[in-house]
């Protein structure tokens, strides 16, 4: 990298009190849902030869279809050999669709924040463990899940913890959700390497849409 912004990044990374001296400098694409502005901006930041590129200003209230359309229009103008980051996204389905459009990584509060509200993600959709139908349900959140919650606790017990406002209930839901998201990202990497990402994505979306068991 060379240029004014790169020089400033190098200066900041070299400061004695900089904790992480290997920070990367990303260009962040903006332009709301206007593809002409998005594309012009993508070209401008791509020319700056930065460490990576993010798509910002999405997942802020527009429809999923609008977000996917802007990704379709914009990502092709970002450098393929650099990491592409979709900021603040999203549901498992959003991530699967983002990867299909060239996105490499994501950040989102859903697995943790939704977990704290008793909402858990599974391969058969999202469940709300506050729901009364889980009161006597002694299955784990997801059969076969190897997370610390599913290996030892039932839906009924976790629901009881949540209803009693016992902090362990939130923690178990968050543990499961983080495990679910991390496992999905592993599966995505494996499917891409095996050249079967489209099939994987279709199967995963179909299972999640089928609803809980």
129 is a contact residue toward Zn ion (CB under 5 A): no
| 50 or 158: CB nearest Zn ion | 158
| 145 or 191: CB nearest Zn ion | 145
Helix axes of 35-46 and 64-74: crossing angle, nearest 10 degrees: 40
- Backbone phi and psi for residue 105, each to the nearest 5 degrees, phi listed first: -150, 165
Give me the least distance between CB of 96 and Zn ion, in Å please.
Answer: 19
Give me the least distance between CB of 139 and Zn ion, in Å please.
Answer: 11
Give me the least distance between CB of 124 and Zn ion, in Å please.
Answer: 13
Give me the least distance between CB of 125 and Zn ion, in Å please.
Answer: 14
Number of residues that bind Zn ion (CB under 5 A): 6
| 46 or 128: CB nearest Zn ion | 128
| Contact (Cβ atoms closer than 8 angstroms) between residue 46 and residue 27 | yes
Give me the least distance between CB of 185 and Zn ion, in Å please.
Answer: 15
| 176 or 204: CB nearest Zn ion | 176
176 is a contact residue toward Zn ion (CB under 5 A): yes
Output Rg (C-alpha) for the chain, integer angstroms: 20
* Stretch 131-160 residues interacting with Zn ion (CB under 5 A): 141, 145, 147, 149-150
Query: HSE on the CB side for 79, CA within 13 Å?
Result: 16
Structure-token pair, residue 211: 């609803």
| Contact (Cβ atoms closer than 8 angstroms) between residue 62 and residue 56 | no
Could you please report the per-residue DSSP string of 122-178? Answer: ETTEEEETTSGGGTT--S-SSTT--SHHHHH--HHHHHHHHHTT-HHHHHHHHHHHH
| 53 or 181: CB nearest Zn ion | 181
Chain positions contacting Zn ion, by CB under 5 A: 141, 145, 147, 149-150, 176
């Amino acid at each position: 990298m060379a240029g004014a912004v790169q020089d400033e990044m190098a200066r900041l990374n070299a400061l004695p009190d900089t904790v992480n001296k290997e920070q990367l400098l990303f260009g962040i694409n903006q332009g709301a849902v206007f593809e002409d502005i998005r594309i012009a901006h993508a070209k401008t930041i791509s020319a700056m030869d930065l460490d990576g590129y993010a798509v910002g200003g999405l997942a802020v209230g527009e429809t999923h279809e609008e977000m996917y359309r802007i990704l379709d229009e914009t990502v092709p103008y970002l450098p393929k050999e650099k990491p592409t980051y979709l900021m603040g996204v999203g549901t498992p389905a959003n991530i699967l669709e983002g990867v299909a459009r060239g996105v490499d990584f994501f950040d989102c509060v859903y697995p943790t924040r939704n977990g704290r509200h008793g909402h858990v993600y599974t391969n058969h959709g999202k469940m709300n463990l506050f729901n009364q139908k889980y009161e006597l349900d002694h299955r784990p959140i997801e059969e076969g899940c190897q997370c610390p919650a599913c290996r030892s606790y039932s839906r009924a017990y976790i629901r009881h913890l949540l209803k009693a406002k016992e902090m362990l209930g939130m923690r178990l839901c968050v543990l499961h959700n983080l495990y679910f998201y991390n496992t999905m990202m592993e599966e995505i990497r494996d499917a891409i390497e095996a050249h079967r990402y489209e099939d994987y994505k279709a199967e995963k979306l179909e299972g999640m849409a089928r609803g809980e068991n």
